[in-house]
A = this chain, B = another copy of it.
Amino acid sequence: MVELMDITSLQLKELIELRQVRNLRYIFDEYNLIDLAEIVEQLELKEILFLFKTLKKDITAQIFTYLTYEKKQEIIQSFSSVEITSMLDNLYTDDIVDFLEEMPANIVKQILSSVSSEQRADINLLLSYPEDSAGSIMSTDFVELEASDTVARAIRKIKQQGKSAETISVSYVISQQRELVGTVRLRDILLAETDDTVEDLMDVDVISVKTHDDQESVAHVIKRYDITVVPVVNDENRLIGIITVDDIIDILEEEVTEDIQKMAAIIPIEGSYLKTSVAEMTKSRITWLLVLMVSATFTGSIISGYEDALLLIPALAASIPLIMSTAGNAGSQASAMVIRGIAVGELSMSDYWKVIWKEVQVALLSGFVLFVINWLRLMIFTPESSWTVDLVISLTLMLTVVISKLVGGVLPLLAMFFKQDPAAMAAPLITTLVDAVALMIYFNLAVSMLGL
């Protein structure tokens, strides 16, 4: 037998070449399939086909779900309809649906004709839900019990239905009308007296989601209630499916990626960095660059408006970058904190005044520090400049920080008020806005204090 050490694709290729069926089966029984799938991904199609014929059907099915979209398509196209059927029998319905959603129409048709009519009904149901809804990500493989079941009968049912269920930790109790009336944990069934019924053990305060709920709100329910699986019901409270926590982790991750993209002034793209085409990537970024170009033109026109002041005191121009970047950074710091606070559910509209008050205090304190340090810097390193110019620059910095932090803190809350995504109050948007304000403060102070 081969040793339980790190397996490489070369070793796997060799075992396949030598038709070492026993060793191959041993490896796929003992090693983690997610790690092995990464190696299988690198094999050639004919090697994979040999491997799939050699291994147990349930292992083949699992490996298959972990492969990339391209590999899956290649494999399916060289499979006979019997082979497809046998593999699909070993997949959970939600995995089949995930896979079908990526495949071209002709392959979907071929696959749907290979499954049993019952499975086809389940798959079509899941495919019919809108993208990103609870219905579209749920699984229809769960254990259902009745309230009147005895513990012994419940255990028999769990053993029977459990073979194909996604989880058996929780079973769902349904009424004659298939309404969800309770949940019961396997743990409570096992620890119960044999003459107890499911009704005695079940929890009737069921946390559930609706088929048309957005997947993000499903993620928040699972997070809030620290549960590993949530039932999905339709508008008549009939049990339709379940969603498990592992699917939720991926959704939370996608959601964060989307937020980060929005915050960086990118129109969210779904695919991964490496797989997104250059055209799509450009499209997702150019829109905001153009919008911000136009707004920067307005900022520029503020400078043009004070051309005379700049001609009289050219030193004023040298501080433009300092003032613009301090404004931008102070603003995006505040907006990042507030946007994240909203995303994790800590801040809501009602915290309006608390946010303003906190930002004002933080801004006054940091503004004062910047004022002092900047003035010292100017006095030490540019002794030739007049102290009034130094004062104008330092004062502008302080006022700028206060206004930028206020704008950065309030805009995301305002977006929420207007039912917009707070993350869309991107740092670049806030930067452009506060840039303009900062320059106006700067030149107004300069004109009035320096008597230009």
Residues of A within 8 A of B (CB): 4, 30-32, 34, 155, 158-159, 162-163, 168-169, 186-187, 190-191, 204-205, 207, 222-228, 245-246, 248-249, 252-253, 256-257, 259-261, 263-266, 272-274, 278-279, 281-282, 285-286, 288-290, 292-293, 296-297, 299-301, 303-304, 307, 310-311, 314-315, 317-322, 324-326, 328-330, 332-333, 335-341, 344, 346-347, 351, 354-355, 358, 361-362, 365-366, 369-370, 373-374, 377, 397, 401, 427-428, 431-432, 435, 439
Q: 7 extra interchain contacts, Cβ-Cβ under 8 A, other than A266-B333, A332-B427?
A: A223-B249, A261-B337, A273-B338, A274-B358, A278-B358, A301-B318, A307-B317
The 6 A-B residue pairs with the shortest CB-CB distance, nearest first, are A264-B336, A299-B321, A273-B341, A296-B322, A300-B318, A304-B318
Asked if B252 and A332 sit within 8 Å, CB to CB, the answer is: no
Which residue among A187, A288, A307, A311 has the maximum number of chain B CB atoms within 10 Å of its CB? A187
> What separation, in Å, do the CA atoms of A355 and B279 have in the docked complex?
15
Which residue among A278, A335, A370 has the maximum number of chain B CB atoms within 10 Å of its CB? A278
Asked if B249 and A249 sit within 8 Å, CB to CB, the answer is: yes
Partner of A336, one of B260, B272, B354: B260
Partner of A289, one of B226, B256, B366: B366
Asked if A325 and B303 sit within 8 Å, CB to CB, the answer is: no
Chain B residues with CB under 8 A of A318: 300-301, 303-304
**A428 touching B329 in the complex, CB below 8 Å, given contacts A158-B190, A300-B318, A354-B274:** yes
Asked if A282 and B190 sit within 8 Å, CB to CB, the answer is: no
11 contacts between A and B (CB under 8 A): A30-B205, A34-B226, A169-B186, A260-B263, A260-B340, A264-B336, A265-B329, A274-B351, A289-B329, A292-B325, A329-B428
Whole-angstrom distance from the CB of A372 to the nearest CB of chain B? 11
Whole-angstrom distance from the CB of A3 to the nearest CB of chain B? 13
> What separation, in Å, do the CA atoms of A32 and B227 have in the docked complex?
12
Chain B residues with CB under 8 A of A224: 34
Asked if B370 and A205 sit within 8 Å, CB to CB, the answer is: no
Whole-angstrom distance from the CB of A179 to the nearest CB of chain B? 15
Whole-angstrom distance from the CB of A93 to the nearest CB of chain B? 17
Whole-angstrom distance from the CB of A229 to the nearest CB of chain B? 9
Asked if A296 and B321 sit within 8 Å, CB to CB, the answer is: yes
Chain B residues with CB under 8 A of A355: 273
Partner of A274, one of B158, B228, B346, B428: B346
Whole-angstrom distance from the CB of A126 to the nearest CB of chain B? 19
> What separation, in Å, do the CA atoms of A138 and B415 have in the docked complex?
39
User: Nearest chain-B residue to A409 (Cβ)?
Assistant: B273
Partner of A362, one of B282, B320, B324: B282
> What separation, in Å, do the CA atoms of A261 and B361 have in the docked complex?
19
Chain B residues with CB under 8 A of A336: 260-261, 263-264, 266
**A362 touching B30 in the complex, CB below 8 Å, given contacts A296-B321, A321-B303, A346-B273:** no
Chain B residues with CB under 8 A of A369: 282, 286, 290
